[in-house]
Amino acid sequence: MFAYVLRRMAVAIPTLLLLIVLSFVLMHLAPGGPFTQERELPAQVLANLNAKYGLDQPLWRQIWNYLYGIVAHFDFGPSFVYPDRTVNQLIAEGFPVTLTYGALSFLFAVVVGVALGVVAAIRQNSFLDYLAVGISIGAQVLPNFVMAPILVLVFTLWCGLLPGGGWSFSDPRFWVMPVIALGTSYMASIARITRSSMLEVLGSNHIRTARAKGMPEHRVVIRHALKPALLPVISYLGPVFVSMITGSVVIDIYFSTGGIGKAFVDSALNRDYAVMMGVTILIGALTILFNLVVDILYAWIDPRIRY
Amino acid sequence: MVIEQEKMRSLASRLGQEEVRGRSPWTDARKRFVRNRAAMTGFVILVLVALFAIFGNGLAVWSNEDLDFEVMGQVATLGQPSLANGHYFGTDDLGRDLFARTVQATQVSLTVGVVGAAIAVIVGTLYGATAGYVGGRTDQLMMRIVDILMSIPYMFVLILLLVMFGRSITMLFLGIGLISWLDMSRIVRGQTLSLKNREFIEAARAIGVPSWRIILRHIVPNLLGVVAVYATLLVPLMILTESFISFLGLGVQEPLTSWGALISEGAGTMNYGTLWQLAFPLFFFCITLFGFFFVGDGLRDALDPRDR
């Protein structure tokens, strides 16, 4: 197990380096630098700016400095557009917000999705089952950017119950819509996956044995059926995590929550390459880390898997 | 009596033909697909949406670029859907006809979906089949590259590409195509591994058919089922990706439009009571995704009857 973790790390680190180098090279291939404006800057000013941000040095030197900054001081450098802000500051502002509603949506998707799937599987072909299947099919075509306007329409414009945007760490009313908008389609997918794998497990031999020896049904479901049924769900968690981070861009834009997605899109529109790269790298690192955690979790739940 | 005999003869000859023709797995699959009600509904929806995209402009009274100065500035009160002034779906907040815009958006979104899926199919199939067939160290290397590319947050890289190299539709195709083939190549490789030790491949190798030819002529045609199912499920994903990008304002640029761009516009203006700007693009978006998902599921069930 330990060796497996080490081996995975050995792949993860080059991947991350590749991502950094790739985005760095892309940035240099792109036509127009960060200081390209409608009114052309005087050559001397441009030269000074380039010197200040180290853009006058050879490419390998810049990459090296950038990497060194990240590895040695966890420093992503200054923002190209806001002279008094560093990328670290911009990320530190947005990240807690994204983390809060992201974690809540993740919990929402997993808990509600699994519960819905299990109930649907136990009561197969009942009203509850049809309801669960209906919800999961409907939610499949309602991605976050479709869900967000619909929620605002219903809860803010028609019912006037929830604030249509903004963020506050102390007021949960601000959390509701981002969490639902971000989590719904994954909740639906998790419900579908849980239902079908639960149905498969419930029909297997060891469940029949457990029932035959007179074990109460709730124990059969929780102790014997749920654990193997969750395996496909766990392997789905990696992609869910990635899509949720991506989806947070929409949430930040639509609900003005001020998370990390806003920093990303703002920097994309301002051509603030430093911030874009910082966010991309951070998210790449998180993704790789999370996939590792999922794989370890998988091995822990399913003792048949040996690495 | 004569007529009866005529009938019998024609019946016999028809049955004879039936017998000769036999039933291929594909015929079986088609029968199962046609019997699947959800899949057929999805198929009909898709045909209707495609017809809308192709012939919609012929029905439109207004062009998608003309501004209707009568309703401009009073879109909330005058711009609603009406048959009288030819704005079947109403107008957008500039007074452009939403029907024509929706037709255009449907064309763009479907094109992006189909082209994106096509790139994925071609690149992914060839890559996966090559890796699986060649095997060994080449396979290891090729699949490790896929692993690495998969762990990159592709949506962010796509946005990065679009920002750095200009927001053009070519760049969008390229960016979507770059990432979409990864899953496909994995699936195809797995399938190839199970195909490559079969007798007919061995026979081809024995008579000296070159590797590339075996891959193209013997492996790829046998992958068709998996590829077809996956491609059908890939089209809606491509449409979703494009809509996501366009929702953020980074996708197709005016005067072109797509479902994502229209939904974004509609979502932005719904405060003013112009709900139709959200409703119509959203309706087409949702039914098309439904259609593709149902057809994809139906195809899978039809080609893999064990799994039912």
B260/A250 Cβ within 8 A: no
Residue-wise pLDDT tens digits, B221-270 = 888 878 888 888 888 888 888 888 888 877 777 778 888 888 888 887 77
Residue-wise pLDDT tens digits, A250-283 = 888 888 888 888 888 888 777 777 788 888 888 8
Distance of CA A259 to the CA centre of its chain: 12
Is residue A306 very low, low, confident or very high in pLDDT (cuts 50, 70, 90)? low
Q: What pLDDT does residue A219 have?
A: 85
Q: State whether residue B152 sits within 8 Å of chain A by CB.
A: yes
Sign of the dihedral defined by the CA atoms of residues B246, B247, B249, B253, in that order: positive
Q: State whether residue B118 sits within 8 Å of chain A by CB.
A: no
Instruction: Check pLDDT > 90 for residue B166.
Output: no
Residue-wise pLDDT tens digits, B209-235 = 998 888 888 888 888 878 888 888 888
Q: State whether residue B37 sits within 8 Å of chain A by CB.
A: no
The single-letter DSSP state of residue B63 is -
Those of residues 178-237 in A touching chain B at CB distance below 8 A are: none
Of A233 and B93, more confident: A233
Instruction: Check pLDDT > 80 for residue B169.
Output: no
Those of residues 43-82 in B touching chain A at CB distance below 8 A are: none
Q: What pLDDT does residue A107 have?
A: 92
Select from B253, B19, B239, B219 the least CA-distant residue to B132: B219
Q: State whether residue A254 sits within 8 Å of chain B by CB.
A: yes
Give the minimum alpha-carbon distance from A147 to chain B in angstroms, rounded to a whole number: 10
Is residue B307 very low, low, confident or very high in pLDDT (cuts 50, 70, 90)? very low
Among A295-304, B146-155, B237-246, the range with the most confident prediction by mean pLDDT is B237-246
Task: Find chain B residues with C-beta within 8 A of A29's C-beta.
Answer: 164
Q: Where are the domains of chain B?
A: 44-64+88-307
Q: State whether residue B278 sits within 8 Å of chain A by CB.
A: yes
Task: Find chain A residues with C-beta within 8 A of B267's C-beta.
Answer: 145, 148-149, 152, 254
Q: What is the mean pLDDT of residues A189-195?
A: 88
Instruction: Give the whole-number percent of chain A exceeding pLDDT 90.
Output: 4
Residues 6+ apart with CB under 8 A from A272: A34, A79, A80, A81, A82, A266
Q: What pLDDT does residue B207 have?
A: 92
Residue of B163, B174, B241 best to disrupt the A interface, most CBs of A under 10 A: B163
Q: What is the mean pLDDT of residues A182-187?
A: 88
The single-letter DSSP state of residue A41 is P
Is residue B9 very low, low, confident or very high in pLDDT (cuts 50, 70, 90)? low
Whether the bond into B255 is cis, omega within 30 of 0:
yes
Give the minimum alpha-carbon distance from B244 to chain A in angstroms, rounded to a whole number: 7
Give the minimum alpha-carbon distance from B277 to chain A in angstroms, rounded to a whole number: 12
Q: State whether residue B272 sits within 8 Å of chain A by CB.
A: no
Which element (helix H / strand E) includes A13? helix A2-29
Task: Find chain B residues with C-beta within 8 A of A284's C-beta.
Answer: 151-153, 156
Of the candidates A30, A143, A246, which has its C-beta nearest B155's C-beta? Answer: A246
If you measure CA to CA, which chain A residue comes closest to B292?
A141
Give the minimum alpha-carbon distance from A32 to chain B in angstroms, rounded to a whole number: 8
Is residue B308 very low, low, confident or very high in pLDDT (cuts 50, 70, 90)? very low
Instruction: Check pLDDT > 90 for residue A111.
Output: yes
B44-64+88-307 topology per CATH = MetI-like fold (1.10.3720)
* Amino acid at the residue B203: A
Q: What pLDDT does residue B305 have?
A: 58
Number of inter-chain CB pairs under 8 A, A vs B: 102
Q: Range with the lowest mean pLDDT among A39-53, A107-121, A228-242, B191-205?
A: A39-53
Task: Find chain B residues with C-beta within 8 A of A156's C-beta.
Answer: none
Q: State whether residue B110 sits within 8 Å of chain A by CB.
A: no
Is residue A4 very low, low, confident or very high in pLDDT (cuts 50, 70, 90)? confident
The single-letter DSSP state of residue B185 is H
- The Cα–Cα gap between B92 and B79 comes to 8
Residue of B143, B152, B285, B308 best to disrupt the A interface, most CBs of A under 10 A: B152
If you measure CA to CA, which chain A residue comes closest to B38?
A137
Instruction: Check pLDDT > 60 for residue B170.
Output: yes
- CA gyration radius, chain B: 25
Q: Strand pairing partners for B201? A: none
Q: What pLDDT does residue B199 have?
A: 87
Select from B69, B68, B71, B61 the least CA-distant residue to B99: B61
Instruction: Check pLDDT > 60 for residue B19.
Output: no
Q: What is the mean pLDDT of residues B103-125?
A: 88
Instruction: Give the whole-number percent of chain B exceeding pLDDT 90.
Output: 2
**B259-269 and B276-303 helices, crossing angle to 10°:** 140
If you measure CA to CA, which chain A residue comes closest to B267?
A149
Of B174 and A110, more confident: A110
Tell me phi and psi for residue B67, to 5 degrees. Answer: -95, 135
CB neighbours (10 Å) of residue B237?
A: 18
CB neighbours (10 Å) of residue B205?
A: 14
Q: State whether residue B33 sits within 8 Å of chain A by CB.
A: no
Residue-wise pLDDT tens digits, A113-142 = 999 999 888 887 788 888 888 888 788 778
The average confidence (pLDDT) of chain A is: 81
Residue of A141, A243, A248, A267 best to disrupt the B interface, most CBs of B under 10 A: A141
Of the candidates B160, B263, B278, which has its C-beta nearest A276's C-beta? Answer: B160
Instruction: Check pLDDT > 60 for residue B20.
Output: no
Of A302 and A99, more confident: A99
Among A301-305, B40-44, B62-66, B150-154, the range with the most confident prediction by mean pLDDT is B40-44
- In b/e form, how buried is each residue of B276-294, taking b as 16+ CB within 10 angstroms? bbbbbbbebbbbbbbbbbb
CB neighbours (10 Å) of residue B213?
A: 11
Instruction: Check pLDDT > 90 for residue A60.
Output: no
Residue-wise pLDDT tens digits, B130-139 = 998 888 888 8
Instruction: Check pLDDT > 70 for residue B15.
Output: no
Take residue B230 and report the two structure tokens written for it: 């996956």
Q: What is the mean pLDDT of residues B173-186?
A: 82
Residue of A8, A145, A199 best to disrupt the B interface, most CBs of B under 10 A: A145
The single-letter DSSP state of residue B257 is -
Of B26 and B245, more confident: B245
